[in-house]
Amino acid sequence: MESPGESRNHKARRRESKNVAAPAPIAQSAVGHAVRPRLLALDVRSIPNLLTLGRVAVIPFFVWLVDKPTPARGLWACLLFSVAAMSDMVDGYLARRLNAVTILGKFLDPLADKLIVMSAVVWLCPMGRIPAWAVVLLLGRELAITGLRSVAASEGVVIGAGSGGKMKTALQMIGIVALVLGYPYHLTYFGFDLGIVDLARVGRGLVYLSLVFSFLSAAEYVQLFKSTGERHSPHRDVSA
């Protein structure tokens, strides 16, 4: 049985512990808000994301080279575009190898790809190297699929790039490189003389072929999205 003095000391200790513990949730909340910008800054400084941002940074230089076409400027623009295209494969590999896959990277990587492709075809169109209808179809498909992927993501459906989409991207990149060069060249292939090859025509053919794969993969994606939506199965991986 406690004496009156021990009871008073016990109550005082309880009041003291409550007073000390009370500010803890406020401090935790403040720390949580402070950590988010720091984590975002760390994501930006990761090597894969720096490479992705580098692809965006070269777009003004690429456009400047393409704006006044000459064979020399076309060669430099082609090299710049090729390095940017190869960096797309490198940053994905590094992100997986270094375990540096981030939400920021998932957002920036496809955005950078679309920006550099869109800037290329839009600038090449008034030069007569690619017709306007092909540019409209290409950009319309990309914007439509991006919008549908956003809707799918909001429903918990993850859309991955399938073989058709990857073939489309490869043909687009090679076609744009040929369009940027855009002049007839005397070419040889493993000792075989190919004669004078108009790279602008080759590039247009590859872009037209990429449009076929674009809409085939888009139709497949829409069908998968429809069937997945009807089943209401969240977090299902589908390919387009």
For residues 131 and 125, the answer to whether their CB atoms sit within 8 Å is yes
> Would you put residue 135 in left (φ > 0), alpha (ψ -120 to 50) or beta?
alpha
Inter-helix orientation angle 47-57/71-97, to 10°: 160
Q: Which helix (H) or strand (E) holds 65?
A: helix 59-67
Residue 37 is predicted with a pLDDT of: 56
For the chain, the domains span: 129-240
Residue 131 is predicted with a pLDDT of: 92
Instruction: Give 80's contacts (C-beta < 8 A, 6+ positions apart).
Output: 58, 61, 62, 65
Q: Along the 240 residues of the chain, how does pLDDT read in single tens digits?
A: 555 555 555 555 555 555 544 444 444 444 444 445 556 666 666 777 788 888 888 899 999 988 888 888 888 999 999 888 888 778 777 777 877 777 777 777 777 888 888 889 999 998 888 999 999 999 888 888 777 777 776 666 656 566 677 788 888 889 999 999 887 777 777 778 777 888 889 899 999 999 998 888 888 777 777 766 655 554 444 444
pTM, entire model: 0.69
How many CB atoms neighbour CB 49 within 10 A?
22
Instruction: Give 240's contacts (C-beta < 8 A, 6+ positions apart).
Output: 145, 159, 160, 161, 162, 164, 165, 217, 218, 220, 221, 224
Residue type, 17: S
- Dist CA 159 CA 189 (whole Å): 39
Residue 85 is predicted with a pLDDT of: 83
